[in-house]
Amino acid sequence: MKRWVKMIRFIGGLCLVTLLGIAYVSYLCHNSLCLAPEHSSLSPRYSVSSSSSSSRSEILSTPASLVKLIGGFPSKVNIESVAFQEAYNMGFDITSRDVIVFLHIQKTGGTTFGRHLVRDLNLENPCNCPRKRKRCDCFRPNTVNEQWLFSRYSTGWKCGLHADWTELTDCVEGALDEYEGTSRKRRYFFITVLRDPIHRYLSEFRHVQRGATWKSARHWCGGQEFTSLPHCYKGSNWTGVELDEFMNCSYNLAHNRQTRMLADLTLAGCYTGYNTTADQLERDKILLQSAKQNLASMAYFGLTEEQATSQYIFERTFHLDFANPFDQANATLSAQAIAELTPVQIERVRQLNSLDNELLEFARQLLHERFKMLKRRDPHFRRNWLRVIHPHNTSFHHAYSLLDG
């Protein structure tokens, strides 16, 4: 009898220790300490060009196909993503299985760029944009429902309002399968636009001040939707908010928005323990590194402050031309808004967007590298560049067409 009692106690003790261990590990992962594994399975299909920049040299390869389980959140990304070099070498085949996916970050000029994509590309079969309808039909030639463009103004927000990299890579293929009524593998050309972080942040602040909320954003990550993220305001919106109040909300997703939207959030436990001070430095490091890697892996990105360069890079990468040029927006309004801030407020905005600042510096260097490479390989660079910066000067174009001829 005593022997059975000892055995029961022993088994009970083991169960108790096991339960305590599981609870402890779950607690750590809940607080985002179970972050990225030491060895992640990255496909070496795409490599990032080397640079003297230390941050550039840290980015070793770009994932084309990932299957991972990090921080308790599974993320199964198994799509074929085309990087810049391959896009340039092979071009974009609108008649086959190629799809441009526009990752639209708030207040970066993405609305204007999105309209360029559906209205201004010189195509044999341009998008059909009916009057009084926001969206256009961008179907492949000789098809009735196969989309070559996944964006706000073509398919709509099928992966959620302003879907980020984590949401898009997890959703886009299934969304297109559902839309087209067939399951097929496609090649995805991810593109985006970035903006100076201070100007973008202040633009978002003014937008929220006027009543914007983006409440319907899904925040999908690791196979689940995070619906319980706290709001910075009470009521239906944050109309009339002052800048200091806007900045003081620690869980305001406007802070470092560009980095967060370009990073693989599963590497940092998705939104679990978001913005907790205990692990924020480690989380920031992981998100910034991931954002840089994903940006470098994209087929294309542009900068709001460098419209002509961005247009030229797009046209030469995709071997497609725009009928109307990208307009360089006047920065007077943004400059005036910054001039109205105190030095303390400007510094606070800069601190809150320090990751975005570093990401933009990386992007600017990479953009200029791509421009130099394309310029060097373009036998008609002067003609193509003049067409971008002087689109309506026919004498320039005629002269250089004679020289080329």
Phi and psi, residue 224, nearest 5°: -150, 160
The answer to whether residue 380 is catalytic is no
Chain-centre distance for alpha carbon 192 = 6
- Token digits for 277? 């001070």
Cα–Cα distance measured from residue 49 to residue 51, given in angstroms and rounded to the nearest whole number: 7
* Angle at alpha carbon of residue 214, lines to 247 and 193, rounded to 5°: 80
Are the beta carbons of 324 and 263 closer than 8 angstroms? no
Contact criterion met (CB below 8 Å) for 374 and 385: no
Q: Report phi then psi at 302, rounded to 5.
A: -125, 165
Nearest to 295 by CA among 232, 365, 354: 365
On whether the CB atoms of residues 317 and 325 are closer than 8 A, the answer is: no
Could you say which of 104, 116, 162, 219 is catalytic? 162
Catalytic residues: 162
